Structures are given as structure tokens and as C-alpha cells.
Structure 1
């Protein structure tokens, strides 16, 4: 892992939380840096960014007081994704994350190769979203 790749991952994590950069822009920056995807683990408050050679960088996420609900609410996750995509002024990634946890989302995997995000619950229920970026 090169220092510039770690710096890009850190920038993208912080930019998501402060609203500087949209999801498509984050995807583009991470792909340009050589990453093939990343995981968000809400239970550990960590994001892990993966390179094709198996190397990865783990970054701590800002903590959030909400617990991951035992029940995975697929419809609520889908609605939260639509909210994130709507580009409305009151959207924030911190609020998205808090609400995703209360909707039973334990984390998600973003695959740049597969052009999809797989949201999952504590019982391994999933919700899949495809993206173009």
C-alpha cells in the first residue's frame, strides 16, 4: 500500500462524513487510486479499502451511538439509498449511517468490479444496489 493510496482512502472517508464529495465522486477517486472496493462495518466502526493484490487499509469511522437492529428492514434500506441518491440539502452520510443501523444494516460491501453495493444485516439478509459510476 502506497502512502498516497492511504491518503486517498482517508480523504474519501472524511469527505463522505463532511459532505464534500458525492458517492460517485468517491468511487472515482478510489478507482483512480487502484482500489477495487471497500467494506463498511458498522459494528466495529471501521472501513476497509481493498487493492487487487490483497493489500488493504483499515480506517476508523466516527462513532455513532445507534446499535444495529436485529431485524433487517430491506424496504427501509432501499429508501435510505434513494435518500442518499437524491442530493437533497438535508442529507448527510452520518445520518444515513445512523438510520441504516436502526434499519438493521450491520455493514455493506462496495464492489467497483461488480458495480454494486451489498448491504447486509446481522442474520446475513441482504439488499443489493447496482451503480453506474
Structure 2
């Protein structure tokens, strides 16, 4: 992967964790750079960015408190997504990560092509959210 795309992915990852940019802004920049998807793995604490040609980039995420709960609570994950979408003054991506892991989310895949996010539990339960 070229240095410019690596820098864009790193900048977007850092901005999400620092609270500097919204999900739609980050998605827009990643799409403009040619990415088609990314995935978050809370068990490995990594984020992987995918290009259409099969190339990918794995970056370490900042640590967040707590582990992934054994039971997946799709309703709680959905509520946390609504909280994130509202982007209120009490929202932070760090808190989202901690809370969604407590709800049993082991990670998620953001598909720009499919315009959806698939949240995954440890036993492969899913919760799907569409985005415009």
C-alpha cells in the first residue's frame, strides 16, 4: 500500500479515537482515498483497511478498557449505534468501544460498497446497520 493511503488510514483512525471527526467525515475520506471497507477487531485491538485490489493495511488501535463480553446483546449494540449517531456531548468513540465490547461485540465490518456496518459477537451473532 502506498504511503499516502497509509497516512490517510492512520489519520482517520487517530481522529476517530481523539474525537476530532465524525463517522461520515471519516468514511468520506476513506472512500475518496479508494478504500472499499475496514474492519475493527476488539480481540486483537486492530483495525484493517481494504482496497479493491486485495491489498490491506492493519493498524493497532489505542487500548480501550474492558474485554469482549461472552454474550452478544444486539439490542444494546443497536442502542449504542443510535447514541453514536446522535453525536451528543456525552459521546466519544472511546466510550463507544468500551460499551459495545461490554455488549458482546467482538468487532465490526464497515462496507462502503454495501453501505452497512455488520457488528459481530464472539459466536458470530450479528447486528446490521445501514448507512446512507
Normalising by structure 2, we get a TM-score of 0.99
1:2 Cα deviation from its structure 2 partner: 1.1
1:90 Cα deviation from its structure 2 partner: 1.3
Gaps of 5+ in 2: none
Moved over 6 A (4+): none
Q: Separation in 2 of the partners of 1:22 and 1:67?
A: 25
1:89 Cα deviation from its structure 2 partner: 1.1
Cα RMSD, aligned residues only: 0.5
Q: Indicate the residue corresponding to 1:65 in structure 2.
A: 65
Gaps of 5+ in 1: none
Q: Separation in 2 of the partners of 1:70 and 1:87?
A: 28
Helix, strand or coil: the match of 2:71? coil
Q: Indicate the residue corresponding to 1:101 in structure 2.
A: 101
Q: Indicate the residue corresponding to 1:89 in structure 2.
A: 89
Residue correspondence of structure 1 range 1-133 to structure 2 within 5 A: 1-132=1-132
Normalising by structure 1, we get a TM-score of 0.98
1:63 Cα deviation from its structure 2 partner: 1.1
Q: Separation in 2 of the partners of 1:110 and 1:40?
A: 8
Matched residue pairs, number? Answer: 132
Query: C-alpha deviations, 1:10-69, integer Å up to 9, x for none?
Result: 000000011111000000000000000000000000000000000011000011231100
Q: Separation in 2 of the partners of 1:90 and 1:10?
A: 25
